[in-house]
Amino acid sequence: MSAGDIWQESNKDDSILKLEHHFSQTFQKGKPEYYVKVPGRVNLIGEHVDYCGYSVFPMAIKQCIIVAAKRLSGHNIVRITNTDTQSYEDVSQTISDIDAVTIGKSQSWTNYFFCGIKGAQEYMTEKQLKTVENVGFLFAVSGNIPESAGLSSSSALVTAALISTLAGYGVSVPRHQLAEISAKCERYIGTAGGGMDQAIAIHAKKGFASRINFNPLTIQQFRLPDDVTFIVAQSLAIKNKAASNDFNTRVVECRLASQIIAKSQNIDWKNLTVLSQLQKTLKYSLDEMIKLVHQHLHKSKFTKNEICEILSVTEDELNVISLTPNTTNVLEFYLHQRALHVFKEAKRMEKFCEECENSCSPIELGELMNLSHTSLRDLYDCSQSDLEELIELCKQGGAYGCKLTGAGWGGCVVIMVPSNIKEKFIQFLKDKFYSKRSVDKNKLTKVIFATKPSDGAFIFKSPGVEIDKLYELPPLKIL
């Protein structure tokens, strides 16, 4: 998709019609002016490495968040409603009162949405764009990305809120910048994510998986083997990563690993926050980095006191330099295992891309996915018993490869199977895994489904609505 076509033709399927109906019922203000659609994703390889600066390899899925939007002239308020009224409350808020500190205090669905609005406002302030006085919004949201399942529902929501707000203010932002703004503003919720989810949500291309490189953000599209199908299966173990400090503890462990190795190499460690930066500074290969892990990080746990001694800082200093607000109470860190996972996963990711470009053998690609999962389980310690049961069954059912996708500790697995066994495989998991759990028969297609690489975010206007003429706002355009 080129940078210019974030605006697309109207696309009125059933979900849009339902959303439009909900919008009109709730706000009693006629029809939405425009819609923003943002997909979820699965990550095929490169797990828990984006926040260390290493490349990832996700693809967008067709499950998405859709926002129906209308601008309100003369009001500085935003009203947000969700089609799932049972689970999500409506909210009305003065836009200028949305602030990062309050957002970080709870993980309500509207706070994710506020992250996006806040991100849009900050971008406009930073670029000294003329703020649009007294313009508010009506937003109706619908979505079918399973929540807290590692399919990036939160980033899709934040990104949809960001694009909806910027579009409403008539601000043009290139796609790569949208991804960066969205990654930054989602951190207000309290997790120190690396940017994979927002980048794929914005840059995905139908039919392709994307290699996403960071610093600077670049995207390369890759074809996957023709005769395979990717299946997503939920473990049914729910993990809300913003509600615990597990995710941030991993981010911090990787940071501490890079700082301790940096100190051992006489490098100014205080400014080193990610492992890829350390590698760049040292000009070492990934294999050389792996050697450093073995030389300088012991396998047993590091206590906080020990880390303070090695880095010659007080606990208070360490809290400020290296930890996040929700990890200052963590007393034990596994640095050897986490750094080893990151460097080996970065190597696997490179191999995966080479394989896609060359022989594209499903057996080789599947093996790399399996190795990735084993490392996530054994070195990164972010698997979970239901996930493990599912992984074992996938292997028995004839998968080429399978792994947890996203942060883990529950959520989904992504499985690559030969296309000709797709139906049989899904039935196998239904019989062996889901039949033992109470899953409503009508919901089975939501807990296990085949997926294809889908397009990234786009905006489309309601048919017949002349957006640019509605208010005296700048034209709605995103580059």
Give the residue numbers annotated as catalytic, written as ranges: 197
Nearer to ligand NG1, 52 or 138 (CB): 52
Q: Tell me the two tokens of residue 467.
A: 């957006």
* Binding span for ligand NG1 by CB under 6 A among 185-193, 226-234, 338-346, 365-373: 185-193
Q: Which of residues 191-230 bind ligand NG1 (CB under 6 A)?
A: 191, 193-194, 196-197
Nearer to ligand NG1, 171 or 365 (CB): 365
* Binding span for ligand NG1 by CB under 6 A among 66-74, 110-118, 149-157, 329-337: 149-157
Q: Count of CB atoms within 10 A of residue 115's CB?
A: 28
Give min distance, CB of 101 to ligand NG1, in A. 19
CA atoms of 340 and 218, how far apart (whole Å): 25
Element containing residue 143 per DSSP (H, E): strand 135-143
Residue selected from 241, 304, 338, 461 as contacting ligand NG1 according to rule CB under 6 A: 241
Nearer to ligand NG1, 248 or 462 (CB): 248
Does 454 sit near ligand NG1 (CB under 6 A)? no
Spatial contact of 284 and 278, defined as CB atoms under 8 Å apart: no
Cβ-closest position to ligand NG1:
193
Buried b (16+ CB within 10 A) or exposed e, 258-287: bbbbbbeeebebeebbbbbbbbeeeebebe
Give min distance, CB of 374 to ligand NG1, in A. 16
Q: Count of CB atoms within 10 A of residue 133's CB?
A: 8
User: What is the DSSP pairing of strand 58-73 with strand 135-143?
Assistant: antiparallel
Spatial contact of 182 and 445, defined as CB atoms under 8 Å apart: no
* Binding span for ligand NG1 by CB under 6 A among 1-9, 152-160, 317-325, 452-460: 152-160
Does 152 sit near ligand NG1 (CB under 6 A)? yes
Q: Which residues contact 139 (CB under 8 A, 6 or more apart)?
A: 67, 68, 69, 78, 79, 80, 81, 113, 161, 164
Q: Count of CB atoms within 10 A of residue 126's CB?
A: 9
Spatial contact of 459 and 478, defined as CB atoms under 8 Å apart: yes
Nearer to ligand NG1, 95 or 252 (CB): 252
Does 143 sit near ligand NG1 (CB under 6 A)? no
Q: Which residues contact 290 (CB under 8 A, 6 or more apart)?
A: 340, 343, 344
Spatial contact of 132 and 16, defined as CB atoms under 8 Å apart: no
* Binding span for ligand NG1 by CB under 6 A among 188-196, 313-321, 415-423, 469-477: 188-196
Q: Which of residues 386-415 bind ligand NG1 (CB under 6 A)?
A: 406-407
Length of the chain: 479
Nearer to ligand NG1, 137 or 380 (CB): 380
Give min distance, CB of 251 to ligand NG1, in A. 8
Give min distance, CB of 272 to ligand NG1, in A. 19
Strand partners, 404: 413
Site string for ligand NG1, 24-43 (x = CB under 6 A): -------------------x
Q: Tell me the two tokens of residue 2.
A: 């080129």
Strand partners, 402: 415
Nearer to ligand NG1, 67 or 196 (CB): 196
Q: Tell me the two tokens of residue 279.
A: 């590698």
CA atoms of 122 and 100, how far apart (whole Å): 11
38: amino acid identity, one letter: V
Distances (CA, A) of 406 to 186, 240, 289, 440: 16, 12, 25, 25
Give min distance, CB of 95 to ligand NG1, in A. 24
Give min distance, CB of 148 to ligand NG1, in A. 8
Residue selected from 20, 33, 180, 186 as contacting ligand NG1 according to rule CB under 6 A: 186
CA atoms of 290 and 229, how far apart (whole Å): 34
Residue selected from 150, 168, 190, 456 as contacting ligand NG1 according to rule CB under 6 A: 150
Give min distance, CB of 386 to ligand NG1, in A. 16
* Binding span for ligand NG1 by CB under 6 A among 22-30, 45-53, 297-305, 335-343: 45-53
Does 155 sit near ligand NG1 (CB under 6 A)? yes
Q: Which of residues 47-66 bind ligand NG1 (CB under 6 A)?
A: 47-48, 50-51
Give min distance, CB of 194 to ligand NG1, in A. 4
Give min distance, CB of 451 to ligand NG1, in A. 15
CA atoms of 146 and 412, how far apart (whole Å): 9
* Maximal C-alpha separation, the chain: 67
Number of residues forming the site for ligand NG1 (CB under 6 A): 18
Nearer to ligand NG1, 197 or 364 (CB): 197
CA atoms of 304 and 292, how far apart (whole Å): 21
Residues forming the site for ligand NG1 (CB under 6 A): 43, 47-48, 50-51, 150, 152, 154-155, 186, 191, 193-194, 196-197, 241, 406-407
